[in-house]
Structure 1
Amino acid sequence: MDNEQSLELRRRDAFSPLNQYVLEVKEKIEASAAAVYILHSGTVVNEWYSGTHGFSPGSRAVGADSRFNVASVRKTYLGFAVSLAIYEGRIGGLDDPVSDYMADPDGALLAGTTIRHLLTHTHGLASPQKRIFPPGADWAYNNVGVNLLIRMIGEVFGKPLAQLLNEKVFRPGGFTETGWRKHKTDGLVWLNEAYSSDEGTDINMFVSARELAFWGQLHLSKGMWNEMQLVPRPVWEQTAEIISPEGLGEALPRNGFFWFVQDRPRSLTELGQELPVGSYQSLGSTGCACLVIPEKEAVAVRMYNQTGPNPGGYNYLDDIRTFGNTVYDCLNGIGLQADRSP
């Protein structure tokens, strides 16, 4: 057996606990499809697929090109667009009032609300008509701030979010398995939804496991892709820096541009306590997740197609933390460290 074959066997054994864990959760949440994709220093070290696109007879087997609905992981793509808008001067800064960039703002409701608040779920809006706490005083996860930012991006760039990302990242980077889709095709792990738009305004972003990992890799490499700089480095750098307002409760998560970022273990964050400082992650309601661990120069992706409510005895925070901790343990198990060579 040569060294390359030996390394492959070590990797397979090392990531077996992770793949087994993802399989067990797949059964628990009654998903029909699952995938795991791990990159280290840009190289694939674990690739695993299980199940079919649906439960009906004859459903397509999950494969490398299967595209899952990533649900809220889409927010990291929106966060990137906001970072780009700030870099290009289309948005002045994180602490600019949201109302400055809206064509028809509700001045009273949005008073004191900034771009920072929208990106970090600290805006305090329960709906476009209702506020539940003052801006920056607490943390509450919902899509109100997301939808405001989608509108804002459309206005400051003069084009929809999906078109912007196609022009800036997907097309030049050769990403063909990433995008918003409103019609079912063979490669999509469809959830029997109905969507009216593919412009980036809805929760219908479909991505393959490998291209979601590539998205994480783009953040890790600060935009370097195939020896080409995709969008200037500062745009990528700030997306995973903690920008949450000062004074938040100790248990509350800390966020970058929608990414959950590890500064220390917190009881309400989705990041496992074993993950090192600087790790960041995004999770969607379908179970899809993208985890970036700069200390290990690693990206870990898992995919599911969960559609039903969480089953009894299942806690999604415990699950996603266990996923992250298991990824980290597996990386340590084969001694994978960041490549610090020039």
Structure 2
Amino acid sequence: MINAVNDHFQSLNDYVNHIQTAIGATAAATYIIKNNLVVNEWYSGRHDSIPESRLVDEKTQFNVGSVRKTYLGLAISLLIEQGKIRSIDEEIGTYLNEYAHIAKGVTMRHLLTHTHGLYEENGQFLREFQVGEGWAYRSPGITMLIRLVSQLSGQNLSTFMQRYVFDIYRLKETEWRTEYQEDLIYNYYKDKDTWVGQNNSDAGDQSNLFISARDLAKWGYMHLKKGCLNGEQLLPQSVFERVITLQTPNSVQSNCPRNGFIWWLQSDSPLNEIGGRLPSCSYQILGITGCACLVIPKYDAVIVRMYNQLSNPTGYDYLSDLRQFGNMANDLLMKLSV
């Protein structure tokens, strides 16, 4: 992609820098692609609080937390394309017998849209609400889907994505990591109980996916262009179309968030992460470390922000912050489009 960076987005970068200070993150970045041009690329801080720590730059890879779940969503879509999943309205127990009882009535659609109603306590799955009648961001759905990828493909999620996506799209700064390397922000793992979870598996089953800002922006732009890169259709459009299409069951109350395959879609939900000024076609994903990828097809744009957030300070409202970030990006992109 051609780089056409200017100071049009300086106010957005200043806002991200302000929040970086407010949440105590030592590192931040923004990266914006519009019309196949890089129109904003900004880096701030160091990998850690130690003065001699590495400066953040274009090679820096952040732990993106739950952003990784959209990679799982694409893996499920690829398995559908390969004919290994017939329909997301089949029960998960049809494919994984160990879940047939505890997840009776739970389909892959419910798992992909956080409407399955299960939560985990002391190693057991328990029911929070009836299938398809509510929405809750809980881990059992992700656990089951990761297991499904392994069962149907014969490979773990990490290997599957490397073979069918990362290598094809040349995502060389995207990988599940278990050991420190110079380009990684690895300050999460100093404490026994880490903010992002364990990192002793490279199978794709833990929250240890590290990505550079430019690779995450490329990930979003792949979705926006439905798999087409530099004029070449590397994967079928349908693989990408289904993951960004509304998949939430009609039975779910209208005030609950709406999802595609994991991706958050623009909606009027009070829990929605997407700013109210953004177009209805917009979709987004957020991770616990503050990393986010926002896609706005109306402006042919992808906006990425990266942090190494270690906690939620008292008084910090992450939903308000994320909406404000998106609204500011929307307003600046709108001016470019006039």
Tell me what 2:192 maps to.
Answer: none
Tell me what 1:201 maps to.
Answer: 205
Deviation at 1:307, TM superposition (A): 1.3
Tell me the amino acid that sits aligned with residue 242 of structure 1: L
SS in 2 for 1:187: coil
Residue 35 of structure 2 is aligned to residue 41 of structure 1: yes
Residue 315 of structure 2 is aligned to residue 313 of structure 1: yes
Tell me the amino acid that sits aligned with residue 239 of structure 1: V
Tell me what 2:11 maps to.
Answer: 17
Tell me what 2:333 maps to.
Answer: 331
Which residues of structure 1 form unaligned runs of 5+?
A: 337-342
Tell me what 1:184 maps to.
Answer: 180
Residue 274 of structure 2 is aligned to residue 280 of structure 1: no
Q: How does 1:110-149 map to 2 (within 5 A)?
A: 110-127=103-120, 128-149=124-145
Tell me what 1:90 maps to.
Answer: 84
Deviation at 1:250, TM superposition (A): 2.6
Deviation at 1:333, TM superposition (A): 2.3
- Bigger drift between 168-177 and 52-61 goes to 168-177
- Count how many residue pairs are aligned between Structure 1 and Structure 2: 326
Tell me the amino acid that sits aligned with residue 305 of structure 1: N
| Aligned equivalent of 1:108, options 91, 101, 106 | 101
Distance 1:187 1:252 in 2: 38
| Aligned equivalent of 1:70, options 64, 73, 77 | 64
Tell me the amino acid that sits aligned with residue 93 of structure 1: S
TM-score, with normalisation over the residues of structure 1? 0.92
Distance 2:287 2:132 in 1: 24
| Aligned equivalent of 2:218, options 199, 214, 218 | 214
Tell me what 2:293 maps to.
Answer: 290
Deviation at 1:103, TM superposition (A): 4.4
Cα deviation, 1:22-72, whole Å, max 9, x if unaligned, reads 001101110000000000012100010000000012100000010000000
Q: Is the 8 A contact 1:169 1:230 kept in 2?
A: no
Identity of paired residues, percent? 45
Q: Is the 8 A contact 2:293 2:305 kept in 1?
A: yes
- Bigger drift between 318-327 and 246-255 goes to 246-255
Cα deviation, 1:137-162, whole Å, max 9, x if unaligned, reads 10000221001100000100110111
Tell me the amino acid that sits aligned with residue 309 of structure 2: Q
| Aligned equivalent of 1:267, options 266, 270, 274 | 270
Cα deviation, 1:113-152, whole Å, max 9, x if unaligned, reads 0000000000000114211111101000022100110000
- Bigger drift between 213-222 and 80-89 goes to 80-89
Cα deviation, 1:76-104, whole Å, max 9, x if unaligned, reads 00000011111211111110001011142
Tell me the amino acid that sits aligned with residue 91 of structure 1: I
Distance 1:154 1:87 in 2: 16
Distance 1:62 1:196 in 2: 25
